[in-house]
Amino acid sequence: MTWPFDVAPPVPLPPGRSAVADEGDGQRPLLWISDAPAPAGLWEQLHRAHPQSGLWPLLLSPLNGADPDFRPWLSGELYPERASALAAHDPAAVLREWWEPGENLEPEEIDEEFETLAPYGAAWPGLAPAATVPDGAADAEARGLAGVLQSVKGVRLGLVRASSGAEALVACGWSGPVNHENDIAKIAAVLADWERRFGAQVVEVGFDTLQLSLAVPPATLAEALPLAAEHAAFCPDQIHQGAGTLTAYAEQLVGSHHWYFWWD
């Protein structure tokens, strides 16, 4: 087994290898990835060990289930050099930047762009109120979702040296949302804020998909609407190529402990 870190694995691991990105000056290992689908229960063990090991576990899926190169994880399509510093970004400012229309749009174009985002308009509506996250709830939901996803064929185990799932995406150079945002640190800043406000955690990452667990979901449509606006700014395809309207998407968030994102 090729092991890229200077700390020993906290629990016995199956066969695996280092995943690298070709940065032009040699290949630098970014994460460890199992050679086969993750054994049941292993993600949860590693998640429990994270405070001591500093290694964040991810469930990893490829571009498609039959991809022999397991893109992007084993194909070199990881770009940590593109990322800025996570701490440099205010999540509210980032979401505002993604929400508000470009300066070159005509009024009728703005109206057309935002007609699916009622009851909000072109002005950023602001962050949803933070929830009270019970102790242990975020970890419990993350482990529960991982247990479900580990049964999915082709989902492998990854380990990244990082303090959280949000930081792990920056550290490994994931670029799934590149058609929406080229700097993964901005994506991670929002994810880290969702972890603080709602107990969300990164569990599974694909070529251009992301699955999060959630400790405290909205209980009503009124609570879900401002959160849906954050999701629409973060991942517009959820609305425009998915639910169709912000209200329809918000209805899906009510009571749900599982958030799924994909970028076209």
Whether 122 maps to a domain, the answer reads no
Whether 12 maps to a domain, the answer reads no
Whether 103 maps to a domain, the answer reads no
Q: Which position has the higher pLDDT, 108 or 99? A: 99
Range of the domain at 82: 25-89+127-262
Whether 72 maps to a domain, the answer reads yes
Q: Is the dihedral of CA 181, 184, 190, 194 positive or negative?
A: positive
Domain count along the chain: 1
Whether 78 maps to a domain, the answer reads yes
Whether 245 maps to a domain, the answer reads yes
Whether 37 maps to a domain, the answer reads yes
- Bridge partners for 37 per DSSP: 156
Whether 14 maps to a domain, the answer reads no
Q: Could you read off the pLDDT of 181-230 as tens digits, one per residue?
A: 999 999 999 999 999 999 999 999 999 999 999 999 999 999 999 999 99
The predicted pLDDT at position 62 comes to: 92
Q: Is the pLDDT of residue 29 over 70?
A: yes
